[in-house]
Each structure stands twice: as structure tokens, then as C-alpha cells.
Amino acid sequence: MECWCLHGAVGMAADWRGFAKNLAVSGIGSRAVDLWRFLECDALPLPDFAKAINAEAGGEISRSAGKFLLGYSMGGRLALHALLEKDHPWQAAVIVSGHPGLEIEQERADRRTADAAWAIQALTGNWQTFLDEWNRQPVLGVAPIRASDESNILVMRRREIARSFIDWSLGAQRPMWERLHEIHVPVLWIAGENDPKFLALARRAETLNSNIQIAIAPGVGHRVPWEAEDWLKERVAHFLRTAL
């Protein structure tokens, strides 16, 4: 199997470097997708991204036995859109700290407003101040994803990152709760034990589709891939061995 990894907001493909090395020990290949390249030329709404990533994966001649999709946070939302497309190329999926969508219009409007402010700061503000404020959000906890020098590389993607706060905002996303039953491949839905909001979302998702099973990462919060890297590798490898 080959794992296509979708990073989170204000993230980068290199964030998966350590996880990919761990996964390779279990004989599973991986590909870290640079999500920002999809926003280089023009706006790309969430459903259009799903079509684009599915066409890219489906059009490849692969040496692996199959492909599965792993998405973290924003990448998890993108992965869900890909899984809901007809005739997608994925044999399984792992959703980490994912959100199927806000169901109250006022909450979506508030989120669009907040994300528009993030977009302005990402595009025109002091880059380090933007990164610091982003990482200080309580939901993200204290676990760093990468060294500060690597984070500064992201400044070259500030235009695409700003665009993602508009095109891929949780507020711009249509709720997917009523469509989760349409996912026909095995899904491992992961949330951190210390991330109550996303743990509740995972538990609700599990009740809506028998193909979804949840796993709770012990003692960690939202950033499961970096707070519990070894645990995640073992859990994903076990999931693939037993679900496929």
C-alpha cells in the first residue's frame, strides 16, 4: 500500500517526514502531498480539490498494491471530500483530527469571518507573528510540528496559505454529516484523548457508518501525528493489516 498524506492548515509536505520513515519500517510506502500547489493558479473550492486529487491518484500507474489516504485536520476535511467523490481511487483512509462540518449557518459565517482575518494576516502581516499566533491557539496544544527555520520556509507559500483560509475554510465547507454513510471503504478515524471537541466528532462519525472505526491516541491532543508519532504508525499499520 501507498499512503498519500495530506497536511494541515499552515502545514507543509515535509511535516510527514518522520511518520513516513516509521511507516516504511512496516513495509508501507508514502507520499506527502504539497497541498499548496493546488492553489497556485486560482481559487479551488473543496469539491474541486477532491476531483483533482482523485484524478491525480487514479491516473497514476502504481507499483503498490493500492492507495490509501491519510489526512490531518484541514487535510482530513480534504480527504473526506475525496472519499465522497464517485469512483475514487482509494482503498482505505485514515482521518486524524478531522471535522465533517459545521451545521449551523451562523457558526459557518463566524468561521468565515475569522478565517478571512487569518488570511489577511498570512498574506500581509509579519510572518513570524502570524506563525506565533497560529501556534498559540489552545486547540493546537504545545507540541511543535517542525523547527522554526523550517516554518519560515512557508513564507514562500503565504499567498496559497492565505487563499486556503478562504477556499478551504471550515465555514466554506458544506456539512458532510448526512453523507458520511456514502463512504464505502474502511476508515480509521483518530482523535487525541486530550482533544475533547474532535474526540466527540470522531465518536459521532463512527455511529453514522459501519465502515468507520475510531482510535483514541492516549495522552495527546490535536496534533496526534507529532505528539504520538510511534503510536500512529503502529495503529495505521494494524488498521491496514486487519481492514484490507
Domains observed in the chain? 2-103+173-243 (3.40.50.1820)
DSSP E strands: which ranges in 26-163? 29-33, 67-72, 92-96
Q: In this structure, how many other beta carbons lie within 10 angstroms of the beta carbon of residue 28?
A: 19
Which residues of the chain, if any, have pLDDT below 70?
A: 60-65, 142-144, 148
CA distances (Å), origin 84, targets 33, 69, 116, 129, 176 = 19, 13, 27, 37, 9
Please report the pLDDT score of residue 86 as a whole number: 94
Task: Read off the pTM.
Answer: 0.95
Please report the pLDDT score of residue 144 as a whole number: 66
Please report the pLDDT score of residue 66 as a whole number: 87
Q: d(Cα 7, Cα 32) in Å, to the nearest integer? A: 8
Residues 6+ apart with CB under 8 A from 194: 141, 219, 220, 221
C-alpha cell at 227: 505528539
Task: Give CB contacts under 8 A, 24+ apart, made by 119-128.
Answer: 119/162, 119/163, 119/165, 119/166, 120/162, 122/10, 122/158, 122/161, 122/162, 122/165, 123/158, 123/159, 123/162, 127/152, 127/155, 127/158, 128/152
